[in-house]
Amino acid sequence: NAGVTQTPKFRVLKTGQSMTLLCAQDMNHEYMYWYRQDPGMGLRLIHYSVGEGTTAKGEVPDGYNVSRLKKQNFLLGLESAAPSQTSVYFCASGAGEKLFFGSGTQLSVL
């Protein structure tokens, strides 16, 4: 029972590089979310999706793009990474009022 799977688990980028984080869920959930977790600030919503082909901005969307081409996958892209994007990124999928989280991606931008 995989649940929510994130790849990669760790990544180091140089300023200006691009990358894509992949989130996959096998629970047939409509809702999917990308959060970032920073010390003392809890989780902040970057983007979310309410179904295949839909995306919406969250609290801190600048510098990120997302796509939901398939129901089970939600991709988070950084087109030109900046040191301010050093963080731990969590994907979640939702069924009603319960969220299921992946184990996170630790990203460092130098």
Partner 1 sequence: GNSVTQMEGPVTLSEEAFLTINCTYTATGYPSLFWYVQYPGEGLQLLLKATKADDKGSNKGFEATYRKETTSFHLEKGSVQVSDSAVYFCALSVYGQNFVFGPGTRLSVLP
Give the binding site for partner 1 (CB under 8 A). Answer: 4, 31, 33, 35, 40-43, 45, 48, 50, 58, 90, 92, 94, 96-99, 101-104
Cβ nearer to partner 1, comparing 14 with 42:
42
Cβ nearer to partner 1, comparing 85 with 102:
102
Q: Parallel, antiparallel, or unpaired: how do β-strands 19-25 and 4-7 relate?
A: antiparallel
Cβ nearer to partner 1, comparing 17 with 73:
73
- Tokens for 39, please give them: 């010390």
We find the least distance from the C-beta atom of residue 87 to partner 1, in angstroms, to be 14
We find the least distance from the C-beta atom of residue 84 to partner 1, in angstroms, to be 18
We find the least distance from the C-beta atom of residue 17 to partner 1, in angstroms, to be 25
Contacts of 100 (CB under 8 A, 6+ apart): 3, 4, 25, 27, 29, 92, 93, 94
Phi then psi for residue 84, to 5 deg, are -65, -10
DSSP bridge pairs for 36: 44, 89
